[in-house]
Amino acid sequence: MCGLLGLICGTTHDTQQARSAVAAALHCQRHRGPDESDTWVDDEVIYGFNRLSIIDIEHSHQPLTWGPPEAGQRYTLLFNGEIYNYLELREELITQHGAVFHTSGDGEVIIAAYHYLGPAAVGRLRGMFAFLIWDAERRVVFGARDPFGIKPLFYATGPAGTAFSSEKKSLLELTGTLGLAGELDRTALQHYLTLQYVPEPESLHGAIRRVESGCSFTVSPGESPVFERYFAPEFTARKVTGHAEASELHERIASVLRDSVAKHMRADVTVGAFLSGGIDSTAIAALAREHNPDLVTFTTGFEREGYSEVDVAAESAEAIGVKHVVRTVSAQEMMDVLPLIVWYLDDPVADPALVPLWFIAREARKHVKVVLSGEGADELFGGYTIYREPLSLAPFEKVPGRVRKLLGAVSARIPEGTRGKDLLRRGSIPLEERYYGNARLFRDDQLRRVLRTFDEGVGHQDVTAEPYRISAGWDPVARMQHVDLFTWLRGDILVKADKMTMANSLELRVPFLDSAVFNVASGIPLDEKITKATTKHALRRALAMIVPEHVLNRRKLGFPVPIRYWLRTEMYEWARAIIDDSATDDVLDKQAVRRLLDEHKDGIVDHSRRIWALLVFMIWHGIFIEGRIRPTVPEPHYPVKL
């Protein structure tokens, strides 16, 4: 887990000047890799790297150069992430191809696999990764990002070349070098306010984009990158015909999870685990303890009743026999740290849960250098409550289209906040129109009130059309899962997981998001995912002998945040000041935003999530557009080497 920055130069460049620019831009992502920092230069490529040493600590320095015996030092690698099956791949490359290695890390395995297997090598990697390989013989860079988008990779192309980076802020430092403008992308902003995150491949700076999850690319000096999708997830469920076949499925799930956790425990440093009150993180912690009896787990919560899983997590920790650390967070702490968190984020994410995640990551880093977490289980195994919506809306499917449109018109006349209004509205429209991921913030009619310019041609279909096209003919729950893999998972869940842990120089690993686990999960039939009584049915049955009884069928909370209450009380004046101070008048109707805040304070409508999204954007704008807000970024320093 590290931070990379690579510049593939254009036709004209000053190598020394470009190297100095890369070294300077690398500094603002030092939190991703405080253990080592270095740069490397070829005639047309400049690499910079910050290392967080996890595997083969004394060696495997980056940028890493490797070549087969007959080709010298042909390749140079920048690599952020971990390859969990690197030992097996290494042995295969030695046995079948005669590969020679000089370190015991996973970086050389990536290069050797690419040399002997070509671009297809990326499909053999079990792990989280973003990497660049410079081939000095062919004068081309080959790169890739992991299948699910666990590790970030931004890029920008300008007259002076193409740059790739783990952090967008490093590319913002290079906009002058590349000859780019750092202007706000209003289409991306409209998507953000709809979805609560900026969808791939967009960013809020129009000149900077993201390499999409599951994609590889090539780029030569003086040319633009060419992208190719190497991973296209499919849910191909086959009906379970009886008890014996169901039991076999549950055993396969338990077996592949046990194997994934075992491989995710590979490290030369201490590994801990995040632990909430839900089944996903508890399962990961319980399986991790099989490899480390001294495992330490971490959880966070709030003192307000109903917004904490601290007690349940502590009970789980005791039941599975692990040490446990708790960090509670106050409203004042959230207000104090939010500008710094937004700086770490690069692009706004309107999920309040990222704030307690930052605090628990900070606490965990005092004890360990790596943590396991349960992200991805809901998307792969059908865990979100909204996935049961097709069951509740099934009666609407029998209603003629004309009548369904009439029901939608009736819903529009029902006052906001009235029970049943949204159910009626959603039942009146088809899946492709009503479901655009596990988060929904502003509807179009609400956006028109707060945006100075609302673009009628911009909508969630821009983001979801392709996943829906690919999944035509699948059952509705599988289609919703597929949409979430390309939206909510990689736009919100994995962004906050990576950014908040790396802000504290902590590596986070997600054993559910493993290619072997997906191969099993993608074949689970509908009735083994969703029932009238529960979600993740097959996963719960698979984990019945692994997790404590009290969490087996418990509804997931995650890290809930009481902003609904706080924005009416101690956070009200703070929020009002952010709105008043923000220089976003050209894009937002600030008076309309104030009305939202006051309506929420008075209890008229719960606007808390929409208000939070606007506040996060305003802080982001103050940092990255206005330059008015300048958070004090601490130097990464850890007294204990882990």
| Residue 142: both structure tokens together | 């080959």
**Which of 166, 206, 213 is closest to 188 using CA atoms?**
206
Q: How far apart are CA 162 and CA 145, in angstroms?
A: 17
- Pairing outcome for strands 370-372 and 323-328: unpaired
| 73 three-state secondary structure | coil
Beta bridge partners of 34: 51
Q: How far apart are CA 264 and CA 514, in angstroms?
A: 10
DSSP state for residue 241 in the 8-state scheme:
-
Instruction: Outline where DSSP puts E strands in 379-459.
Output: none
9 carries an active-site annotation: no
The 10 Å CB-count burial string (b at 16+, else e) for 357-366 is bbbbbbbbbe
Q: How far apart are CA 130 and CA 62, in angstroms?
A: 14
For 349, half-sphere exposure in the C-beta direction (CA atoms, 13 angstrom radius) is 26
Q: Kindly list the strands in the beta sheet with 271-274, ordered across the sheet, starting from the edge strand earlier in the chain.
A: 323-328, 296-301, 271-274, 370-372, 507-509
Q: How far apart are CA 518 and CA 256, in angstroms?
A: 9
Asked whether residue 373 is marked as a ligand-binding residue, the answer is yes
Q: What is the DSSP string of 494-543?
A: HHHHHHHHHTTT-EEE-TTS-HHHHHHHTT--GGGT--SS-SSHHHHHHT
Q: How far apart are CA 562 and CA 459, in angstroms?
A: 29
The 10 Å CB-count burial string (b at 16+, else e) for 455-483 is eeebbbebbbeebbeebeebbbbbbbbbb
Q: How far apart are CA 44 and CA 139, in angstroms?
A: 8
Give the Å distances, CA to CA, from 446 to 193, 259, 408, 461, 567. 10, 47, 17, 17, 19
For 256, half-sphere exposure in the C-beta direction (CA atoms, 13 angstrom radius) is 19
Candidates 2, 9, 28, 215; catalytic one: 2
**Long-range contacts of range 416-425, CB-CB < 8 Å, 24 or more positions apart?**
416/605, 417/605, 417/606, 423/392, 423/393
Sign of the C-alpha dihedral computed for residues 250, 253, 254 and 255 taken in this order: positive
Q: Is residue 473 within 8 Å of residue 520, measured between CB atoms?
A: no
- Pairing outcome for strands 154-158 and 161-165: antiparallel
Q: What is the largest CA-CA distance in the chain?
A: 75
- 195: part of which helix (H) or strand (E)? helix 186-195
Q: Cα angle at 270 between 267 and 275, to 5 degrees?
A: 105
For 367, half-sphere exposure in the C-beta direction (CA atoms, 13 angstrom radius) is 18
Q: How far apart are CA 28 and CA 166, in angstroms?
A: 11
Q: How many CB atoms lie within 10 A of CB 275?
A: 33
Residue 453 CA to its chain's centroid (Å): 29
Q: Is residue 505 within 8 Å of residue 52, measured between CB atoms?
A: yes
For tokens 């103050």, what's the residue?
Answer: 622
Summarize the annotated binding site for ATP as residue ranges.
373-374
Binding residues: 106, 373-374
Task: Give the catalytic positions in this structure.
Answer: 2
- Residues belonging to the binding site for L-glutamine are 106
